Amino acid sequence: MISGVQQGMTPAEVRSIFKSEPHFRRFEGNMEEWEYRKFSPLSDVGWSIILIQFTDGRVSGMDSFKDRSMNLDNATLTRPSPTVISTIDNFPPVGHSFDRERTMDGFEFRKLLDNVKYSSTNEKKRLIETALQQYDFTSKQAKELVEQISFTSDQKEMMIKIYPYIVDKQNFEVVIGILSFGSDREEVRKALRLR
């Protein structure tokens, strides 16, 4: 991704490489800076910050670095055995099957939960979606993660995304139960075809 950014590119070309708007933008006069934040649980990098500078609407510079301030104890989620990565856009991934080896253990889950707690709403969702590429969750773990999300609409969206990765679907009602209104709970059940 980073290697695709070249001097002289337009903002539209940079957006197409990152497939999203920047997380932060700064500008002064004819200079503009975009900041992207990426989390990788699959390496020791953890959080990376990518800064892209534009002058007169063209890339004039770029910098990337590891951001240890985002990792509460400078540790990242790791998994000792190799795993298959599927794109987060496909819920559930084709051919996804559950196995206990994919279920996140307590230590790794606490690290993820701590990172989620101290992130913005969009970053919380992104962290959870990234973890879903590698791990399955119990209903109890899913409940703790979804409770960290502030807005009901975002909670419902995350419940629908996380459900295919739940190893104990018979207990998922504890996750749905955190929604305040019966109409919201019913909407999630209907989306998941639970009733």
pLDDT, one tens digit per residue, over 137-157 is 999 999 999 999 988 999 999
Determine the Cα angle at 144 with ends 133 and 116, to 5°: 60
What's the rounded mean pLDDT across residues 46-51?
79
pTM of the model: 0.50
Token look-up 């055995």 returns 81
| CATH class held by domain 2-70 | alpha beta
Alpha-carbon distance of 96 to 11, in angstroms, equals 37
Higher pLDDT: 67 or 106? It is 106
> What span, in angstroms and rounded, lies between the C-alpha atoms of 116 and 37?
14
Structure confidence at residue 90 as a pLDDT band (50, 70, 90): very low
Report the run of H or E that residue 61 belongs to, with start and end.
strand 58-66
User: What is the C-alpha to C-alpha distance for residues 35 and 67, in angstroms, rounded to an integer?
Assistant: 12
pLDDT of residue 72: 45
Residue 93 is given by DSSP the state: P
Tokens of 128: 């959870």
